[in-house]
Amino acid sequence: MKDYLEAQLREVLAAMEGVPADFQPEFETPSNPDHGDLATNAALQLARPLRRNPRQIAEEIATRLREKPLDPKKITDVEIAGPGFLNFRFAEHFLTQELAGLLAAGEAYGRTDGGQGKTAIVEYVSANPTGPLTVGHGRNAVLGDTIANLLDWTGYAVTREYYFNDAGRQMRILGESVCARYQALVDPALPTKKIKVGEGEFAEVPETFPEDGYLGDYIHDIARRLYDAHGDALGDDVKPFKEAAEKAIFADIKATMQRLGIRMDTYFNEHSLYEKDDVWKTLDRLREAGFVYDKDGAVWFETTKFGKEQDTVLVKSSGEPTYRLPDIAYHADKLARGFDKIVDVFGADHIATYPDVVSGVEVLGYDASRIDVVIYQFVTLVRGGEPVKMSTRKATYVTLDELMDEVGEDVTRFFFLMRAPQTHLEFDLDLAKEASDKNPVFYLQYAHARICSILRKAEEVGFTFGEAPDLDLLTHEAETVLMKELFRFPEVVQQAAKAREPHRLATYLRDVATAFSGFYRDCRIVGEERALATARMHLAHAARLVLHNGLTVLGISSPEQM
RNA sequence: GCCCCCGUAGCUCAGUGGAUAGAGCAUAGGUUUCCUAAACCUAGUGUCGCAGGUUCAAUUCCUGCCGGGGGUACCA
């Protein structure tokens, strides 16, 4: 419809004097229904170049549009309002045509092919296997997964990738932590020590426990399982402990992701970049390009040439690379794999590092504009009105599993998606637990379940989807309001995908549920005359489809009864 | 110091150039002989942090300031 009107308007404007050739008319859907279904501010924008009163310009455009004339099966009315807006009103017939299209598309309604078969890779979660996923990881996981869904729905072939590092210092400490716990099981008389874990807080640990070791219960569990399986045969070589811990923790992480409905396509081990020698080749190429120098025994990247205040160390004087170098190699790898869109989902703590990655791959000759970094702000966990400091190492965290046990998988996903990524998310655990039935996700699911119930009841009394509906019977205001709301769905999906902002879809679905409530209140099905009831069944079904499809994109179930 | 994000109703947040700034929660009241009351309806509140600027039009864009958070390691 927008396309039709834009074409008509362009023809009219082309015939008017003084309109710039490159003038781009803008359309919008007015929030106030009195202002019609679609409006354009063209006359206001033209006021300056034409040096005429905008209302006068609007009059001329309106007259010319009426003379064309506009197709009465699409547009019934053009009016001038306010300072010079042109408001258009859709013909009812147009709405019912759209409804037929929606019903025909079914569970594919909302899918568009703007991606044109292009490829995208979304990197998310990417937690190193040092402990269970926490609430903090949850926002990353759910955001990334939903952005991947949105890209899928807008025509991209999407790869979901999990990047991890199981070779660094943290993993060694993990192995040592398990080893120490194991040794204490072998010999309970082993001496212990106290280590500081915070301001005035101490933990009693085995003598061999690393100073900055991991204190979580899962470490005990892993040690206990190793002891049960191998007795005292393992000795004090850290390697088997590290490997066992990684395996157990990764299995745990994957199980948690599965509960959230997340399935990765690929797991990318940072170590593979060393096996392929990519890390050092990357360094050589940066050096050849003239952006690398040696100083104080370390290797530096000249990030000052890209507007940063300081240069950045790529290789420490110990000969060990900092994480930036493999990060650059990894992104070069993704670019070389040919993805059209590369989306990274990072916490706010990465905000200073990704520009280095962008600079790095540009130096390597790649088009860094293909990379799109979604930075989300941290989750502040609040319990009993107090913010909770979370640390994987100190084991002062709430796991994602615990959260899902308390409030459920659907609420967990929805909660993380409700707000714009760039705003801080205050997660009040007490509220989430105690008042979880007030979470908006139930509002959406309830609306869906209620539609299913209505349709079941309608079929019980003898109405059927087998009959061709006369959709033109849908002229009640509550019906047209609902239809217009439903038709926004594909555009909302596109906008949410483009902006990488899933919360737009969550907000929209609430509006759909509200519009359906209005229909439910004013328009009955059971008890109505057969033709009207049949038409309304189809409209209710359309509303169910939009809710179901929208919830599917968000990764949330749409129950048929509650 | 410098960089990034945020500042909108009592609370949590939508709203990125338009016509009277919205929703949920909370508060007060009302609605079930009627397809699911996990619902619906009604009532009320705003110096859109402050000050300038650009524009026919600014909560939205630009600059400065104030406040909150994050970053600014040869840590990841």
pLDDT of A110-169, one tens digit each? Answer: 999 988 889 999 999 999 999 999 888 999 999 999 999 999 999 999 999 999 999 888
Give residue A395's pLDDT. 66
Nucleotides of B under 7 A from a protein CB: 1-7, 12-16, 18-20, 22-26, 34-41, 55-57, 68-76
A269 bridge partner residues: A164
Residue A193, pLDDT above cutoff 80: yes
With H, G, I as helix, E, B as strand and everything else as coil, classify residue A194: strand
Provide residues 454-473 of A with CB closer than 7 Å to any strand B atom: 454, 456-458
Distance (Å, rounded) from C-alpha A330 to C-alpha A321? 13
What's the Å distance between residue A379 CA and nucleotide B70 C1'? 12
Any strand B atom closer than 7 Å to A313 CB: yes
How far apart, in whole angstroms, are the C-alpha atoms of residue A123 and residue A368?
16
Phi and psi at residue A202, to the nearest 5°: -135, 150
Q: So what CATH class is A439-554?
A: mainly alpha
Residue A51 Cβ < 7 Å to strand B? no
d(CA A460, CA A255): 41
Predicted confidence (pLDDT) at residue A392 exceeds the cutoff of 80: no
Give me the half-sphere count of Cα atoms (radius 13 Å) on the Cβ side of residue A182: 27
Which has more confidence, A286 or A430?
A286
Token pair 């120098």 in the structure block, residue? A293
- Answer whether residue A394 shows pLDDT above 70: no
| A39 beta carbon to strand B: under 7 Å | yes
Cα-atom radius of gyration of chain A, to the nearest Å? 30
Chain A window 434-453: residues with CB closer than 7 Å to nucleic chain B are 437-438, 440, 442-443, 446, 449-450, 452-453
Pair A163, A270: CB distance under 8 Å: yes
pLDDT at A493 over 90: yes
Q: Is A89 helix (H, G, I), strand (E, B) or coil?
A: strand
A53 strand B contact, CB < 7 Å: no
Given a contact cutoff of 8 angstroms between Cβ atoms, the answer to whether A559 and A449 are in contact is: yes
Q: Is 90 exceeded by the pLDDT of residue A54? A: no
> pLDDT tens digit string along A216-259?
899 999 999 999 999 999 988 999 999 999 999 999 999 999 99
Query: In whole angstroms, what is the distance from residue A380 CA to residue A389 CA?
Result: 8
**Cβ-proximal residues to A390 (8 Å cutoff; 6+ apart), any chain:** A134, A135, A136, A381, A396, A397, A398
For residues A388 and A400, what is the distance between their CA atoms, to the nearest angstrom?
15
Which residue has its C-alpha nearest to nucleotide B20's C1'? A32
CA of A322 to C1' of B75 (A): 9
pLDDT of A559 above 80 = yes
Cα–Cα distance, A258 to A544 (Å, whole number): 26
Mean pLDDT for all residues in chain A:
91
What whole-number distance in Å separates Cα of residue A125 and Cα of residue A133? Answer: 9
- Choosing among 3.30.1360.70, 1.10.287.90, 2.60.120.310, 3.40.1080.10, the CATH entry for A2-90 is 3.30.1360.70
Query: For residue A343, what are the contacts with CB-CB under 8 A and spacing of at least 6?
Result: A120, A121, A122, A123, A144, A147, A148, A151, A372, A373, A374, A500
Which span out of A300-309, A383-392, A545-554 was modeled with the highest average pLDDT?
Answer: A545-554
Q: Å between A277 CA and B71 C1'?
A: 31
Find residue A312's DSSP bridge partners.
A301
Q: Which nucleotide is nearest to A295 (CA to C1')?
A: B74
* HSE (side-chain half, CA atoms, 13 Å) at A21: 0
Q: Which pLDDT band holds residue A390 (cuts at 50, 70, 90)?
A: low
Q: Please determine, for residue A19, whether its predicted confidence score (pLDDT) is greater than 70.
A: yes
Q: Are A541 and A105 in contact (CB under 8 A)?
A: no
pLDDT for the residue A536: 97
Protein residue closest via CA to C1' of B22: A31
Q: Cβ-count burial of A146 within 10 angstroms (0-12 exposed, 13-18 middle, 19+ buried)?
A: buried
> Strands, E, within A271-322: which ranges?
292-295, 298-301, 312-315
- Rounded CA-CA distance A135/A144 in Å is 15
Where residue A443 falls among pLDDT bands split at 50, 70, 90? very high
Q: How large is the average pLDDT for residues A38-60?
A: 86
Residues 267-296 on chain A lying near strand B, CB distance under 7 A:
295-296
Is A3 (CB) below 7 Å from strand B?
no
Q: How far are the Cα atoms of A23, A45, A47, A132, A346 from residue A83, in angstroms, in the given order? A: 20, 11, 11, 59, 45
Domain locations in chain A?
Answer: 2-90, 169-259, 439-554
Both tokens of residue A345? 């989902």
Q: Is the CB of A393 under 7 A from strand B?
A: no
Which alpha helices (DSSP H) does A317-365 contain, by range?
324-336, 354-363
Burial class (CB in 10 A: 0-12, 13-18, 19+), A230: middle
Burial environment of residue A7 by CB neighbours within 10 A (0 to 12, 13 to 18, 19 or more)? exposed
Protein residue closest to B5, using CA and C1': A422
Q: Which amino acid is at A409?
A: E
Strand B: which residues 185-214 of A lie within 7 A (CB)? none
- Characterize the bridge pairing of strands A201-206 and A292-295: unpaired
A399-413 pLDDT tens trace: 899 989 988 899 999
* Token representation of residue A208: 């061999």
Across the beta sheet with A75-81, the strand order is A27-28, A38-40, A85-90, A75-81
Q: Is the CB of A408 under 7 A from strand B?
A: no
